[in-house]
Amino acid sequence: MDTVIVLFNRDLRVHDHPALAAACAEAERVVPLFVLDPAIPAGRRGGFLAECLADLRGSLRERGGDLVVRRGDTVTEAMRLAGETSAEAIYASADVSRLARRREGRLAGERIAFRCFPGVTVVPPGALYPSGENDHYRVFTPYWRAWSATGRRSVLPPPARVPLPAGLAPGQLPPREPYGAMRGGESLGRERAEAWLRSGLAGYEDGHDDLAGDRTSRLSPYLRFGCVSPLELAAGARGNEPFLRQLCWRDFHHQVTYAFPDINRRDYRPRGTRWAPGGEALDAWREGRTGMPIVDAGMRQLLAEGWMHNRARLITGNYLVKHLGVDWRAGLAHFFELLLDGDVANNSGNWQWVAGTGNDTRPNRTFNPLRQADRFDPAGEYVRRYVPELAGLTGREIHRPWRLADPPPGYPALPAGVA
C-alpha cells in the first residue's frame, strides 16, 4: 500500500500499537493524525491530553515521522487529509463509546478503506460472550474466568521507522495547561508502570484499600489515554491476581459499554428508583462540605488532584446515591468533568454499580461511611490530609466531629438524618 493514515484517539503511544505497527509494516508512507474535535467532551483533561500529544509527537519524530494535528470534526478532517496525501486507507484502534462507534461507522461509510485494530483493552470487547443469547457478560465473575483463560495477542514493539510523506504541515499542539496531580504522556506512563511493576505491585493485595497509604498504581489516567498498553501492563503483572482483576474490571465495563452504549444515560438494569433532584446536598457533596469527613476528604482529593482513590470513590459515590438519594447521573457528570481518568465505560459502569442499576449482583448494597472510615482510614490520616479544618482532631474523633461539644470552626455540621 502506498499511504495509510493512522487516526489516534485513546491510544496515545508508539509501543504495542497494533494499528500503527500494521501501517508501518504495510505502507510506504504513514501519516499519524490526531484531530482535536470540539464534539468530544474533554472535561478538565485538556492539559493532560496536550502533554500526551507532545510526547507522542516527540516519539514519532525520533522515528522519522510526526504527529499531524488538525482541528474540527474528526471524520471530515481525516478525509481532508486523506485527499491531501492520496491515502488509500485509515487505520484506528477500535473503541466502545457511542461517540467512538458513531465515528467508526461514519468512517466505514466513506470512500476509503477503514480498518479497526485492538489496543484499547486487554481482550477486545465482543471477543468473549457467554453461551446462550447474551452478546456480552453481565456478571463479573464468569467474565473474569473467561478473560483469564482466553488467548492473547503478542505485545508489539514500537515501529523502528515511521515514514512520513514530505511537505505536510504538522499543525499546532493544544496548550499544556497543567491540571491535577499527574502529567501526561507515554514516557511518564511507561516510567510509572515500570516502577509500579518493580516495587509497587507486590504490596497491592494488602495495600489497595489503604486510603492514606496511597498504594495503588495511579496508572488510570495513562490507561485512559492509552499512554500505557493495558495488554503490556497485564503481561508485566505476571499473574498477580488482585491487580489483574482490576484490569479485568476495566475490560468488563468496556464490553458492557460496547453492548449497551447508553450506559452513561440510562439504567442498565432499571429498578424504578426515584432520585432526589440534588440541590444543596449535591452542591455540598461536590465541594466536599457534606459534614461527613471521609466523604469530604474523597471529594476534596478529587478537587485537588483530579484523581481519587478507588475506596474513596466507592464511599463518596455510595453516599451520594444511597444516603442522599441523588441521581447517579449527577455524580457521574461531576466525576467525568474532574477526573484525569474520566472515561465513559469505567465511570458509567462504576456509577451504575454503586447505584445498584448496573452489574452489581447485590444492588441494595449500602456502605456505612463511618465503618468504612474506621476500617480504611483507621488513624484518620487521609481525612487529615484533605480536610485541614479537622487536622487538630485525633483518633476516631476525626471521623465524627458532629459528636463533639466543641466542633472545629469552619467545618459544616452534618445535616440531620443523612448519615
Interacting residues toward ligand FAD by CB under 6 A = 208, 216-220, 223-224, 246-247, 249-250, 253, 310, 313-314, 317, 335, 339, 341-343, 346-347, 350-351, 354
Do 29 and 2 form a contact (C-beta atoms < 8 A)?
yes
Q: Which is nearer to ligand FAD, 59 or 216 (CB)?
A: 216
Q: Which is nearer to ligand FAD, 57 or 323 (CB)?
A: 323
Q: Which is nearer to ligand FAD, 67 or 201 (CB)?
A: 201
Q: From the CB of 224, what's the least distance to ligand FAD, in Å?
A: 6
Q: From the CB of 314, what's the least distance to ligand FAD, in Å?
A: 5
Do 174 and 46 form a contact (C-beta atoms < 8 A)?
yes
Q: How far is CA 161 from the centre of its chain?
A: 30
Q: From the CB of 95, what's the least distance to ligand FAD, in Å?
A: 14
Q: Which is nearer to ligand FAD, 60 or 333 (CB)?
A: 333
Q: Which is nearer to ligand FAD, 45 or 400 (CB)?
A: 45
CA distance 319 to 337: 19
- Beta-sheet strand order (sheet of 68-71): 68-71, 29-36, 3-7, 89-93, 113-117
Concatenating the DSSP letter of every residue in 346-406 gives HHHHHHHHHHTSSS-S-TT----HHHHHHHHSTTSHHHHHH-GGGTT--GGGGG-GGGSSS
DSSP 276: B
DSSP 150: S
Q: From the CB of 217, what's the least distance to ligand FAD, in Å?
A: 3
Q: From the CB of 54, what's the least distance to ligand FAD, in Å?
A: 22
Only one residue has cell 466505514, namely 108
Task: Number of helices (H) and strands (E) in the chain: give both, helices first.
Answer: 17, 5
Q: Which is nearer to ligand FAD, 177 or 205 (CB)?
A: 205
Q: From the CB of 325, what's the least distance to ligand FAD, in Å?
A: 16
